[in-house]
Each structure stands twice: as structure tokens, then as C-alpha cells.
Amino acid sequence: MNESMKILYDEHTVIINAIDVARNAASLIGKDDAEYEKTIRDLIYFFRTYADEFHHHKEEVILFPEMSKQNELLADGVLKEMLENHEDFREMVRSIEQRLNEKQFHEAQKLLDRYTNALLDHIAAENEELFPMTDSLMSETELQSIYFRFKDCDRELGEQKKEDLVELADALRKSFI
């Protein structure tokens, strides 16, 4: 694995930790609704900032355009599908928040489960099919340039903010052990 893709793989691992929390949170419904609502609001914040602003942004603005340049077939195929997934994810998070605002917790959880399952499938496709392609598609120099652009991206959005989000996902996970 090259070091630029390692950044994305590592972000996937953090996102998967938050998905674990989302699945376990269901046990709070009817037992401690206030805690359930707080947990899901924290998760919505995490998915919007860490998963979307930090992670999907890197793929959409840096990685996918670079891969498209190397292979047009990818642009119309798997990359287009991945971009559509990201758009669907944003819509799904909006729907989860809406149900939460209406205090429809069972409905919120149903949508959250649908979202996390789709996100896991998406991550598996990227980890197993898409990211490994970069080794043959790109030169060392191109991969290194992507690595620095990823780093710049984190600096612009806030490295401290990113660390805080990792800690948030960690703290939420520990609260369910």
C-alpha cells in the first residue's frame, strides 16, 4: 500500500469505528431516549465532518479526478458510482436528522442502519478494488503529489479538528463497551 492511500485507509478505519457505535446505539431506544438522541446527534456531526468534509472531499477533489485523468473508463464507471454514493449518503444523513428531530427514534435507527450498511459496502469497494488500482495507474511522483495534497487538505480544514473527531468516535465507542 502506498502512503497516500494509507491516509484514506486509516480514515476508513475511523469511520468503521463510528459505524459500530451507530449499530450499538439501537439498544438505547426505549431505555434511555435522551442518551440515544445525543449519541445520534454526535454521530451525525461525525459523519458530516469527518466522513464527508475530510474524507469524501479528498476522494472527490483530489483522488478521483487524478484517477479519471489516467483512465477515462474509470470516470464513467466505478468513480461515477462512488460519487453518486457520496451524494446519496448526504441525503441519507439529512433524513436521519429529520426523523431524530421528530423524535421518531425507531425510524431514525432504521435509516441509520441503511446508511451504515451502504457506507460499509462503499468502503469495501474502495479498499478492495479502487485504492489498489492506484499502484498501477500512477507513478511514485504522482502518488507523492497526492499525498501532499491530502496533507494540505487536512491542514486547511484543521488538523486539530480532525484529531478531535477521531477522539469523539473513540469516546463514543468506549461508552458502548
Point out which residues bind Fe ion (CB under 5 A): 59, 126
**What is the rounded distance in angstroms from the CA atom of residue 130 to the CA atom of residue 93?**
24
SS3 percent helix, strand, coil of the chain, rounded to 5, is 90, 0, 10
> Radius of gyration (Cα) for the chain, nearest Å?
17
Least Å distance between CB 76 and Fe ion?
17
Q: Which residue in 108, 13, 7 sits closest to 57, CA to CA?
A: 7
Closest CB to Fe ion among 54 and 105? 54
135 backbone φψ class: left, alpha, beta (φ>0; ψ -120 to 50)? alpha
Least Å distance between CB 58 and Fe ion?
8
Least Å distance between CB 9 and Fe ion?
9
Q: Which residue in 167, 165, 172, 177 sits closest to 35, CA to CA?
A: 172
Closest CB to Fe ion among 49 and 109? 49
Closest CB to Fe ion among 57 and 110? 57
**What is the rounded distance in angstroms from the CA atom of residue 49 to the CA atom of residue 53?**
5
The C-alpha cell that represents 66 in the structure block: 487524478
Least Å distance between CB 116 and Fe ion?
14
Closest CB to Fe ion among 3 and 33? 3
Least Å distance between CB 55 and Fe ion?
6
